[in-house]
Amino acid sequence: MLQFLIDVLMRACDLALVAIALSAVYSLMKFPNVALVQYATAGALLAILFQRSGVPVWLAIGCGVGLTGLIGVLLNEFIFSRMLKSGSATAMIGSLAVSMIISAVFLLAVGPTATRFALPISRPMRILGARITEWQLWSFGVVAGALLLFALLYFRTDLGRQMRATATNEVLADATGINTRRMKALIVLISGLLAALGGVAIALKGEISIQTGLDLLLPVFAAAILGGLGNPFGAVAGALVIAVAETIVTNTNFGPLLGRAVAFLPAAYATAGSFLLLVATLLWRPRGIFVSEVKRV
């Protein structure tokens, strides 16, 4: 049972930061930026490259994440904000195109094989029969810390209030003297940092390859949409729901139902389970679970 909870939490950690970044960017920019899943890979790969060149691991992570955030801001300034003028769907296709170019860069820079941080290997700890490694705990700590910091910023500071105001009604926020342009740049930076940290959290407990971003794409979107795109903390709940669904699909023994001793679904169906959950939710609530927006007539 405890092992099940740990599996769920670890999977939710993989998804939560990128999903929250996607949702936060959507709340202000009004388009789903697909390239965010590539920022996750970029953050982790840059940090690994920094570590290889002799920088201590935590500093390397800081540099990698910071650099990725900067790249995110530049891409947004020169590409996405210009595409947005012709509609959110156009900007979404553009972000898909940008993420393809980013994968080409990865392919040439690090090649198709998976890489990992050079970390000391430790024996997994046993807590009430469940196995957990030290680096899994660190990864969880990174995700939880980042979520906490972002929540404090978003709900407890003046800056966060201005962001929320811009997200709710941009014209009104502009009229009350909020610099909405700066708010947008800021949220783009924050989402880039969060996504990169999400990638680092994945790399800390396993390995990362150029495929990681694409594998994240659909579960992260499912989590963000379940939480209601544009509602950042809904995305965390969405990530938990997706993680539970995936873990149940892969860990449940369907044998008794079929009159056999053991019958597990192929592991690849874990993702299929979460996509179908997404489709079912959208049929029932077309804009996600945690959205209370009144539709304009």
Partner 1 sequence: MSDFLIHVTIMAGIFSLLALSLNLQVGFGGLMNFGQIALFGCGTYGAALAFEQDLGMLTGLFFGLVAAAVVGWVFASIGRNLQADYWGIVTLALAEVLRLIATNEDRITGGAQGISGIRPFFPGLESRPQQLAILALVLGCVLVAWLLCERLTGGRYGLGLKIMREEPQLSASLGYDILALKRQCMVLGGLIAAVSGFLFAHYVSFVGPDQLGTSETFLIWAMIVIGGLGNNAGAILGAFLLQFTFAFVPFVKDLTGLPTEFVAATRLVLIGGGLVAFILWRQAGLIPEKTGRARHV
CB 226 within 8 A of CB 241: yes
The nearest distance, CB 283 to partner 1, in angstroms, is 7
Sequence letter at residue 46: L
The correct pick among 287, 289, 290, 291 for binding partner 1 (CB under 8 A) is 287
The nearest distance, CB 117 to partner 1, in angstroms, is 23
The nearest distance, CB 91 to partner 1, in angstroms, is 9
Q: Which stretch binds partner 1 (CB under 8 A): 92-100, 145-153, 165-173, 238-246?
A: 92-100
81 binds partner 1 per the rule CB under 8 A: no
Tell the residue number behind the tokens 């592991």, with chain if given. Answer: 267
1 binds partner 1 per the rule CB under 8 A: no
Tokens of 290: 């945690």
Q: Which stretch binds partner 1 (CB under 8 A): 45-53, 55-63, 133-141, 216-224?
A: 216-224
Distance between CA 274 and CA 281 in Å, rounded? 10
Distance between CA 267 and CA 265 in Å, rounded? 6
Number of chain residues interacting with partner 1 (CB under 8 A): 44
Distance between CA 7 and CA 114 in Å, rounded? 22
Instruction: Decide whether 118 or 268 has the Cβ nearer to partner 1.
Output: 268
291 binds partner 1 per the rule CB under 8 A: no
Distance between CA 247 and CA 2 in Å, rounded? 13
Write the interaction track for partner 1 spanning residues 13-52; mark x where CB under 8 A is met and - where it is not.
Answer: ------------------xx--------------------
What is the phi/psi pair of residue 31, to 5°?
Answer: -150, 145
The correct pick among 43, 69, 72, 94 for binding partner 1 (CB under 8 A) is 94
The nearest distance, CB 119 to partner 1, in angstroms, is 27
208 binds partner 1 per the rule CB under 8 A: no
Angle at CA of residue 284, ends 231 and 216, nearest 5°: 50
222 binds partner 1 per the rule CB under 8 A: yes
Tell the residue number behind the tokens 């392919």, with chain if given. Answer: 107
Give me the DSSP letters along 185-203: HHHHHHHHHHHHHHHHHHH
Write the interaction track for partner 1 spanning residues 96-135; mark x where CB under 8 A is met and - where it is not.
Answer: xxxxxx-xxx-xx--xx-----------------------
Tokens of 292: 């209370």
Beta bridge partners of 126: 131
Give me the DSSP letters along 239-261: HHHHHHHHHHHHH---HHHHTSS
Residues near partner 1 (CB under 8 A) are 31-32, 79, 82-83, 86, 88-90, 92-94, 96-101, 103-105, 107-108, 111-112, 214, 218, 221-222, 225, 229, 266, 268-269, 271-272, 275-276, 278-279, 282-283, 286-287
